[in-house]
């Protein structure tokens, strides 16, 4: 058996760090040695930030967004457009749309169908979505999945659940991203842009 090259507390820290997504053995070692060599307050601040986030952040029982209040601040806000519902895959997408200036409500699916990762429709908050649309005053439900295969499959699933309610179901526009060059975007993007062309 090879001898343990590191003190036990450092080994434990490497193991805990290597469970993070995208952090392999080498990176976890680099981070662990960094954390024991920076000023102590900096390392302890990270530990405390993790503990605080776990204590304070919860899932909103209405829209499944993450917040420190339940219902979340967005669901509580009387100034938001309560007729428009944006369905997104996860809470990071909520943060992204918030920065874009969107002012309606959200429904967080808590994932996307992905046979490879073993995520099926039972793992998503689809029944809650249906209930909110049936019981709420929404006029439009916009499916804002990511523009890839799993996102498309997830949007199809949402549509099949929602169509019987008669609500207007929409999707995000697809086309040339603002700031891009026509010569440099890929062919499926140009196809989308042509297919979705609008009156000038």
Tell whether residue 47 is a contact of its own copies (CB under 8 A).
yes
Within 8 A by CB and 6+ apart from 32, the residues are: 10, 13, 14, 17
Minimum separation from the CB atom of position 93 to its own copies (A): 10
Q: Considering CB under 8 A, how many residues would be counted as binding its own copies?
A: 56
25 binds its own copies (CB under 8 A): no
Q: How far is the CB of 11 from its own copies (least distance, A)?
A: 9
List the structure tokens of 177: 């991203």
Interface with its own copies includes 104 (CB under 8 A)?
no
Bridge partners of residue 119, in order along the sequence: 114
Q: Is 79 in the site for its own copies (CB under 8 A)?
A: no
Q: Is 35 in the site for its own copies (CB under 8 A)?
A: yes
The minimum distance between CB 35 and its own copies, in angstroms, equals 6
For residues 56 and 134, which CB has a smaller minimum distance to its own copies in the complex?
56
What are 161's two structure tokens? 């659940």
> Vertex 63, ends 121 and 118: CA angle to 5°?
25
Cα(165)–Cα(131) distance, integer angstroms? 10
The answer to whether residue 194 forms part of the interface with its own copies (CB under 8 A) is no
Structure tokens at 74: 């967005």
What gap in Å lies between CA 195 and CA 139, rounded to an integer?
26
Binding flag, residue 124, its own copies (CB under 8 A): no
From CA 128, how far away is CA 138, in angstroms rounded? 14
List of residues contacting its own copies (CB under 8 A): 2-3, 5-10, 12-13, 15-17, 19-22, 27, 29-37, 40, 42-57, 66-68, 73, 90-92, 94-96, 98-99
């Amino acid at each position: 058996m090879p001898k343990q090259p590191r003190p036990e507390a450092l080994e434990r820290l490497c193991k805990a760090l290597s469970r993070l997504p995208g952090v392999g053995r080498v990176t976890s070692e680099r981070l662990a040695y960094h954390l024991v060599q920076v000023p102590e307050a900096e390392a302890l601040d990270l530990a405390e930030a993790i503990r605080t986030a776990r204590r304070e952040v919860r899932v909103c029982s209405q829209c499944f967004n993450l917040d420190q209040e339940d219902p979340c601040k967005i669901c509580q806000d009387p100034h938001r457009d309560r007729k428009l519902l944006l369905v997104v895959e996860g809470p990071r997408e909520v943060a992204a749309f918030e920065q874009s200036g969107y002012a309606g409500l959200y429904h967080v699916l808590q994932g996307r169908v992905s046979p490879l990762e073993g995520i099926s429709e039972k793992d998503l908050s689809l029944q809650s979505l249906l209930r909110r649309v049936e019981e709420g005053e929404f006029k439009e439900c916009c499916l804002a999945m990511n523009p890839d295969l799993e996102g498309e499959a997830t949007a199809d699933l949402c549509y099949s659940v929602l169509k019987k309610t008669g609500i207007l179901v929409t999707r995000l526009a697809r086309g040339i991203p603002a700031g891009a060059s026509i010569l440099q975007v890929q062919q499926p993007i140009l196809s989308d842009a042509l297919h979705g062309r609008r009156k000038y």
